[in-house]
Amino acid sequence: MMEKDAKIYVAGHRGMVGSAIVRELRRQGYTNIITRTHKELDLTRQEAVEKFFAEEKPEYVFLAAAKVGGIVANQSALADFMYENMILEMNVIHAAWQNGCKKLEFLGSSCIYPRMAPQPMPESCLLTSELEKTNEAYALAKISGLKYCEFLNRQYGTDFISVMPTNLYGPNDNYHPEHSHVLPALIRRFHEAKEAGLKEVVCWGDGSPLREFLYVDDLANLCVFLMNNYSGNETVNAGTGKEITIKALAELVAKVVGFEGLIRWDTSRPNGTPRKLLDVSKATSFGWTYKTELKEGIRLSYEDFLNNPMRANDNITNYPLYGDYSDREYISSHSEQRSEDCLRRWY
């Protein structure tokens, strides 16, 4: 168990996941939380990371920092995504081991699982078949971080664990028009359509794909729970175990936002992967379960969006986000005269 005054380092604290972990730690009474911005500490610089760990000697580490992007970024910068993620992970994990860190928790992504994994996807299906090619570099980097934690445990007796979340949403999400995931994308588009008095929003596909969504504060609660209650080499899936169609999701977001126009589905456009669901029986066997139902989570997310309007214009940076990037959804707003502009979204 982490002592309430233990020195805890949260890497990536300005991102959606890292900031949620900081909130959860503070909520539970932890008082000695260390953070560094990217400008203060570039995690891709080995010497800087080693110096930080040697000076600060954090007892516990939550590694939620990552370079992320959508399908275009992943495919156009394969080497960059693989190198930067692998190097920052290795630097932090290695320095934690060198400096006697009591426990480290590595945050990955459900994109580590094979493209044709069984549904729902159990932890045991890792590396059983080929990965999704569109984000292979990112997935390989995440798998490497997970495996390095496992190999340190086996060789040196460390207590380093990993967690693999499903699609995440919530406070401090990204609403960038080109880089956001499907849920924040829908929030932004329905909000803009409502404000502009538009009569309809058009989505690509037929809305049939199924997706799972976890409120980020619930993930943070699980992360702290596992840090205090779990040790093991196999990763732990983080999700709700529940699915919703993209069509039902769009209708739910529209209702929460207050958009009263039509939602039209352009079936000439692709649907994406039919289903992506995590098997969360391992987490539930520990006595943990999520708390925030989707409708309430969307309400809280929209409230956060309204209270932080600059987020809609944020540009993607090296360590702001966390999530799954293996599928795509295209969404566009339309008035009576159809616009040709479609914004790329991820889910």
Which residues carry out catalysis? 138
User: Collapsing DSSP states into helix, strand and coil, what is residue 8?
Assistant: strand
Torsion of CA 294, 170, 203, 312, to 10 degrees: 150
Q: Which helix (H) or strand (E) holds 168?
A: strand 167-169
Which tokens in the block code for residue 344? 């790329």
Contacts of 283 (CB under 8 A, 6+ apart): 222, 236, 237, 238, 239, 289
Cβ-contact 246, 329 below 8 angstroms: yes
User: If 0-12 CB within 10 Å is exposed, 13-18 middle and 19+ buried, where does residue 40 land?
Assistant: exposed
**Spacing of C-alpha 167 from chain mean position:** 6
* Sign of the torsion angle spanned by Cα atoms 250, 188, 75, 212: negative
Angle at which helices 294-307 and 182-196 cross, to 10°: 60
Amino acid identity at 99: N
Shortest CA distance to 116 belongs to which of 331, 274, 251?
A: 274
Encoded tokens for 281: 């029986």
